[in-house]
Amino acid sequence: MELVQASTHLLDSSPLKGISRGLIYYVHTGRNAWHSTWVTQYANGCMHTTFESAKEHAEKRRTRGTVFYIKQLPCLIFRSQNTCVLVTEINNRNPLSGYSPDATTDNVAYDLNKIDGALNNYLKIGAPINGVAMSFLPNSRFWNVRPGPRDSVIILASKNPAMSVEKVSGDSLLAYKSYSSGGNYYLGWSGIESEIKRLAVLQLYRKAKPKKKGAESL
């Protein structure tokens, strides 16, 4: 399924009911970005819940000579009664590594206001989902290392709170590069090295995950 970027100011304040982690598929074009400083750009329709959906998107955008890349990105998943929000980051080998669950300051950015009932930690059950999403905006109070204002943190939303998102099946994430066998054939895909890490997403999930009663902290 193609994912849609969220308009955080339009999200409701329904309480967070679930926090999990998973992976999504990011489609982009251009040179090999794995061993260079080349920056990829977010484009509408580039994020997908499955590899098949990502490949279909590439086919629709296909032009002669264009090379596509599809890479798995780790994401945090937040669900309320009415909404599912996914958060990831592009142009960072360890997505969301700069995010802090606890606010790093009491002050908001210039010309911005706190939402009603603002919290200093949104990674917990019961937090308003609009506040959760806004805490990941690049100009929020929740960054140890602030990301760039564009082509960095990606916040996606669906009105289906039960939307299916793939789980990470191993320690290594996957990436693919397209190749053409001619205009009468579908694009082929070869596996390439991915330097994307899931460590920061995993750490944030562990900090946010509700502890079971009687469980010892690790």
Domain boundaries, the chain: 4-208
What is the average pLDDT score of the chain?
Answer: 89
User: Has residue 38 got a pLDDT over 90?
Assistant: no
Question: Which has the higher per-residue pLDDT, 55 or 39?
Answer: 55
Q: Note the pLDDT tens digit of each residue in 54-98.
A: 999 999 999 888 899 999 999 999 999 999 999 999 999 999 999
Q: How confident is residue 217, by pLDDT bands cut at 50, 70 and 90?
A: very low
User: Has residue 37 got a pLDDT over 90?
Assistant: no
Percent of the chain at pLDDT > 70 equals 89
Name which of 133, 126, 112, 139 is nearest 7 in CA terms: 133
Question: Would you state the structure tokens that stand for residue 203, as one six-digit string?
Answer: 């750490």
Q: How confident is residue 114, by pLDDT bands cut at 50, 70 and 90?
A: confident
Please report, for residues 16, 50, 86, 93, 200, the alpha-carbon distance to residue 98 in angstroms, rounded to integers and kept in the order given. Answer: 22, 26, 17, 11, 8
What average pLDDT does the segment 49-54 reach? 98
Q: How confident is residue 32, by pLDDT bands cut at 50, 70 and 90?
A: very low
pTM, full prediction:
0.90
What average pLDDT does the segment 150-174 reach? 92
Name which of 58, 51, 53, 101 is nearest 73 in CA terms: 51
